[in-house]
Amino acid sequence: MKIPHYETSYFLFSNFSPHKLVYKGVEYPTLEHAFQTQKFLDEPTREEVRNAQSPLMAFNIGRSRPGKREDWSRIKLNIMYELLREKVMQHEEVKDALMKTGDKEIVEENPNDDFWGSGKDGRGANHMGKALMRVRDELKTQ
């Protein structure tokens, strides 16, 4: 199942969807806010990202600020998985939509992202789709 980047019917899977979530005791306006915040250890930057007016602003701050944690490249996949799991568990409509995908492969069709999405040629790593499928598979065993 291919999920077009920001396609309306699957937008609830997007990091930019307006689903608040609580992660490690802190509330975030969107998953994107939570993810970008985790890149930093200093509280002023974390708060700036968390309080960004939109997920796009949080994304831009997270990409542009110096001082990212040294272990970020090693932990970012697990952080994304944890955040997706929290989002799904905290929002029944997201959980229902994910479970309705059945056993289909979930591919985030994003031509601009070879890491999280499918990339231009469809050969991207699709880590977002893989994380969603991992959450779905865990829910099936519960």
What's the whole-model pTM score? 0.93
At 62, is the pLDDT very low, low, confident or very high (cuts 50, 70, 90)? very high
What is the average per-residue pLDDT within 70-80?
98
Is the pLDDT assigned to residue 5 strictly greater than 90? no
HSE-up (13 A, CA, CB side) for residue 76 = 17
For the segment 81-91, what is each residue's pLDDT rounded down to a tens digit? 999 999 999 99
What is the average per-residue pLDDT within 56-77?
97
d(CA 101, CA 110): 19
For the segment 90-133, what is each residue's pLDDT rounded down to a tens digit? 999 999 999 999 999 999 888 899 999 999 999 999 999 999 99
Task: For CA atoms 9, 88, 76, 17, give the dihedral sign.
Answer: positive
Distance of CA 37 to the CA centre of its chain: 12
Class of domain 2-140: mainly alpha
CB 129 within 8 A of CB 108: yes
Is the pLDDT assigned to residue 9 strictly greater than 70? yes
Q: Where are the domains of the chain?
A: 2-140
At 142, is the pLDDT very low, low, confident or very high (cuts 50, 70, 90)? confident
> Which ranges of the chain would DSSP assign to H, the alpha helix?
31-37, 43-50, 55-64, 72-90, 92-99, 127-140
At 66, is the pLDDT very low, low, confident or very high (cuts 50, 70, 90)? very high
